[in-house]
Amino acid sequence: MQKLIMIKYGELSTKKDNIGFFLSTLKKNVEYALKNIDYEIKYDKNRMFIKSSNLDNVIEKLKKVFGIHEISVCYQLDNRNLDSISKDLIKIIENVEFKTFKVAVKRSDKTYPLDSMELAKKLGGVVLKNKDNISVDVHNPELLINVEIRTDQVYIYIDNIQGIGGYPVGVLGKGLLMLSGGIDSPVAGYLAIKRGIKLECVYFESPPHTSIEAKNKVLELSKKLAVYNNGMKVHIINFTKIQESIYRNIPHDYLITIMRRMMYRISAILSHNNRGHVIVNGESVGQVASQTLTSMEVINEVVKMPVIRPVACFDKLEIIDIARRIGTYETSILPYEDCCTIFVPAHPVINPVLSKCYEYEKLIPYEELIHDAIKNQEVVKVGEDNKEFDELL
């Protein structure tokens, strides 16, 4: 009998046509997560199995891999006859405390001499005979003993650890996350990765108005997302000239509207240039002046590419809950200002008008400024063992 990890895919198993691609991607992502651990991996349409001398460590890593629905410590039995299964089962539950139980049998090999019901009954009898003061409860058992009969082996598992669900990162293609140092955008990024979108990030900085600490904070956040995303590429755009030019030439109530239109334009180009199909950001309806519906309409107007806003309809407290759970909150609340907060006017327009945006944008050579900003971008690769990133911090 050998101990190993069994992974259940959940929602993935419903993807009939591209299940092969989904599963090979999941395998790659698991391999990335386990890269410093010794292991052996095998999988089919229903399950993935991992052998390792360090199962606890494997479980901790798998808890952060999207596409995994459930993780179980599982026993592989190579002898399928009833006596042998019974003996192994007794060993498995020897030190487990429980009062009620149920045996659930799944038979993927239909030629096995006993059917599921018969086998469940027989194994139930074995358990009852070998433990004192226990009884069967088919509706709400304290211990669920799962037995799977396969062509060559039998698998038994008694515990289930919930995985984080979602789709394997990468299966849906790529996108670009607008990552600021705030609370919302890292959560938005996490939720987009969860749906299988492999992200790169863009961060707009305005030195000397914004500090190196603000930039490092964003890189620290991207490092946290990198764990789920198999590493992360961060495009750092120097936004100073664009921002100063807007500040000098455009009525101040429209500063934020125009600034965000510039950010969207740059994001769409960067996303497209890096084979991305969407922009992702942390906008939340109604949160600030630039997130009223009319603002969103006027800002969104500059791009054709879809913009995904995973936290658009979440309350701030709901966003904070997720931020705490994924460990970005503590970094997000560090005090360093990002570029938006420095150029915030006293009275930003709440219902901007598109024709005014056209009129004001004529006052700045924005196409040239955007072109230069993209040409001079800094790219930082963030990964778990990326020296370049560690040195930067």
Residue whose tokens read 């993780």: 71
Cβ distance to ligand ATP smaller for residue 68 or 178 = 178
Q: In the structure encoding, which two tokens stand for residue 249, read together?
A: 């030439």
Nearest to 197 by CA among 219, 222, 175: 175
Cβ distance to ligand ATP smaller for residue 75 or 203 = 203
Contact between 266 and 237 (Cβ < 8 Å): yes
Nearest to 279 by CA among 241, 320, 310, 308: 308
Nearest to 104 by CA among 152, 68, 151, 156: 156
Cβ distance to ligand ATP smaller for residue 105 or 176 = 176
Candidate list 67, 170, 231, 282; residue touching ligand ATP; CB under 6 A: 282
CB of 138 to Mg ion, least distance (A): 53
Contact between 29 and 168 (Cβ < 8 Å): yes
Instruction: Choose among Mg ion, ligand ATP, none what residue 41 binds, the Cβ cut-off being 5 to 8 Å by kind.
Output: none
The CA distance from 386 to 390, in Å, is 7
Question: Which parts of 180-219 interact with ligand ATP (CB under 6 A)?
Answer: 180, 182-185, 202-204
For residue 18, give every residue at least 6 positions away whose Cβ sits within 8 Å of its Cβ, in sequence order, or none. Answer: 171
- Helices 184-194, 316-326: inter-axial angle, 10-degree rounding: 70
Instruction: Choose among Mg ion, ligand ATP, none what residue 339 binds, the Cβ cut-off being 5 to 8 Å by kind.
Output: ligand ATP
- Helices 366-375, 240-249: inter-axial angle, 10-degree rounding: 160
Report if residue 243 touches ligand ATP, rule: CB under 6 A. no
Contact between 44 and 12 (Cβ < 8 Å): no
List, in sequence order, every residue forming a beta bridge with 380; answer none if it has no partner: 234
- Chain residue whose CB lies nearest Mg ion: 182
Query: What is the secondary structure of 331-365 as a DSSP string?
Result: HHTS----HHHHT--SS--SS--HHHHHHHHTTS-
Per-residue binding string, Mg ion, 139-178, x by CB under 5 A, is ----------------------------------------
Cβ distance to ligand ATP smaller for residue 227 or 280 = 280
Classify residue 47 by its DSSP letter.
Answer: E
Report if residue 182 touches Mg ion, rule: CB under 5 A. yes
Residue whose tokens read 């349409």: 45
Per-residue binding string, ligand ATP, 326-365, x by CB under 6 A, is ------------xxx-------------------------
Report if residue 288 touches ligand ATP, rule: CB under 6 A. yes
Instruction: Choose among ligand ATP, Mg ion, none what residue 295 binds, the Cβ cut-off being 5 to 8 Å by kind.
Output: none
Q: In the structure encoding, which two tokens stand for residue 304, read together?
A: 């054709």
The CA distance from 188 to 202, in Å, is 13
Per-residue binding string, ligand ATP, 142-181, x by CB under 6 A, is ------------------------------------xxx-
Cβ distance to Mg ion smaller for residue 105 or 183 = 183
Instruction: Choose among Mg ion, ligand ATP, none what residue 289 binds, the Cβ cut-off being 5 to 8 Å by kind.
Output: none
CB of 267 to Mg ion, least distance (A): 15
Residues touching ligand ATP, count (CB under 6 A): 19
Candidate list 180, 257, 267, 331; residue touching Mg ion; CB under 5 A: 180
Contact between 330 and 223 (Cβ < 8 Å): no
Q: Helix, strand, coil % (nearest 5) of the chain?
A: 45, 20, 35
Report if residue 298 touches ligand ATP, rule: CB under 6 A. no
Report if residue 66 touches ligand ATP, rule: CB under 6 A. no
CB of 26 to ligand ATP, least distance (A): 28
The CA distance from 261 to 295, in Å, is 10
CB of 19 to ligand ATP, least distance (A): 33
CB of 279 to Mg ion, least distance (A): 16
- Site for ligand ATP, rule CB under 6 A: 178-180, 182-185, 202-204, 281-283, 287-288, 290, 338-340
